[in-house]
Structure 1
Amino acid sequence: MLRTVIFGSVLALGLTGPALAELPQSTRAMIDAAIATGDAKKVETVLELARTVHPDDGAELDAIKAQFDADQKVLAAAQAELKEEEILTAGLFDNWGGKGELGGFRATGNSSETGLTAALALTREGIDWKHKLRGRADYRRANGSTTREQFFASYEPNYKISERLFFYGLAQYERDRFQGFSARYAISGGLGYQIIDAPELRLSAKAGPAYRITQFVDGASEARVAALAGIDFDWDLTDRLKLTHDTNAVAETGGSATLITDSRNTSINLVTGLNAKVSDKVSARFSYAVEYDSNPPEGAVGTDTLSRVTLIYDF
Structure 2
Amino acid sequence: MTIRTFMAALAAFFCLTAAAAAQVSSDYARLIEDAATYQDEAQFAATLALVARNAEGGQAAVMDTVALVAPDRAGEAYAALGVEDSAPVMVAEAETTEAVAAETAEAGEAPADDWSWRRPFSAFEDNGPLAAWSGKVRAGLRVDSGNSDHQSYTLGVDVTRELIGWGFDGSIDYAYSETDNVTGVDELIVDARGERELGERWTAFVEGNYERDELASFDFTAFAGAGLGYRIFEREDLNWTLRAAPGARFTDPIGGELQTDPAVELGSSFEWALTETASLTSESSVIVADAASADQEFALTTRVGGAWAVELKYRYQYEFEPLPGFENADSRVDVSLVREF
- TM, length-normalised to structure 1: 0.69
Contact 2:163–2:196 (8 Å) recurs in 1: no
Q: C-alpha separation between the residues in 1 aligned to 2:22 and 2:186?
A: 49
Equivalent residue, structure 1, for 2:146: 109
What CA RMSD, in Å, does the superposition of the two structures yield over aligned residues?
Answer: 2.6
Q: Which consecutive unaligned segments of at least 5 residues does structure 1 have?
A: 7-69, 246-255
Q: C-alpha separation between the residues in 2 aligned to 1:71 and 1:213?
A: 50
Which amino acid in 2 is paired with 1:311? L
Which amino acid in 1 is paired with 2:145? T
Q: Structure 2 matches for 1:145-294, cutoff 5 A?
A: 145-245=182-282, 256-262=283-289, 264-294=290-320
- Of 234-243 and 180-189, more deviation after overlay is shown by 180-189
Query: 1:155 and 1:71, CA in 2 relative to 1: closer, same or farther beyond 3 A?
Result: closer
Query: 1:125 and 1:203, CA in 2 relative to 1: closer, same or farther beyond 3 A?
Result: closer
Q: C-alpha separation between the residues in 2 aligned to 1:120 and 1:3?
A: 28
Contact 1:132–1:155 (8 Å) recurs in 2: yes
What stretches of structure 1 move > 4 A for 4+ residues in a row? 1-4, 88-91
Number of aligned residues: 238
Query: 1:3 and 1:288, CA in 2 relative to 1: closer, same or farther beyond 3 A?
Result: closer
Contact 1:178–1:300 (8 Å) recurs in 2: no
Query: 1:241 and 1:289, CA in 2 relative to 1: closer, same or farther beyond 3 A?
Result: same
Q: C-alpha separation between the residues in 1 aligned to 2:322 and 2:21?
A: 59
Give the Å deviation of 1:164. Answer: 1.9
Q: Which consecutive unaligned segments of at least 5 residues does structure 2 have?
A: 1-19, 25-50, 73-122, 124-128
Q: C-alpha separation between the residues in 1 aligned to 2:240 and 2:202?
A: 12
Contact 1:169–1:188 (8 Å) recurs in 2: yes
Equivalent residue, structure 1, for 2:106: none
Which amino acid in 2 is paired with 1:151? L
Contact 1:286–1:307 (8 Å) recurs in 2: yes
Give the Å deviation of 1:182. Answer: 1.3
Which amino acid in 1 is paired with 2:239? R
Give the Å deviation of 1:125. Answer: 4.6
Query: 1:71 and 1:121, CA in 2 relative to 1: closer, same or farther beyond 3 A?
Result: closer
Q: C-alpha separation between the residues in 2 aligned to 1:110 and 1:302?
A: 8
CA deviations on 1:245-290 (whole Å, 9 max, x unpaired) are: 1xxxxxxxxxx2221111x222111111111101231110111111
Equivalent residue, structure 2, for 1:26: none
CA deviations on 1:101-135 (whole Å, 9 max, x unpaired) are: 11000110001111111111112357522122211
Which amino acid in 1 is paired with 2:185? R
Query: 1:73 and 1:303, CA in 2 relative to 1: closer, same or farther beyond 3 A?
Result: same
Q: C-alpha separation between the residues in 1 aligned to 2:310 and 2:143?
A: 16
Q: Structure 2 matches for 1:17-166, cutoff 5 A?
A: 73-75=54-56, 78=59, 79-88=61-70, 95=130, 96-125=133-162, 127-166=164-203
- TM, length-normalised to structure 2: 0.64
Contact 1:203–1:234 (8 Å) recurs in 2: yes
Contact 2:196–2:205 (8 Å) recurs in 1: yes
Q: C-alpha separation between the residues in 2 aligned to 1:205 and 1:292?
A: 20
Give the secondary structure class of the aligned counterpart of 2:147.
coil
Give the Å deviation of 1:185. Answer: 2.0
- The higher radius of gyration belongs to 1
Give the Å deviation of 1:136. Answer: 0.7
Q: C-alpha separation between the residues in 1 aligned to 2:268 and 2:66?
A: 29
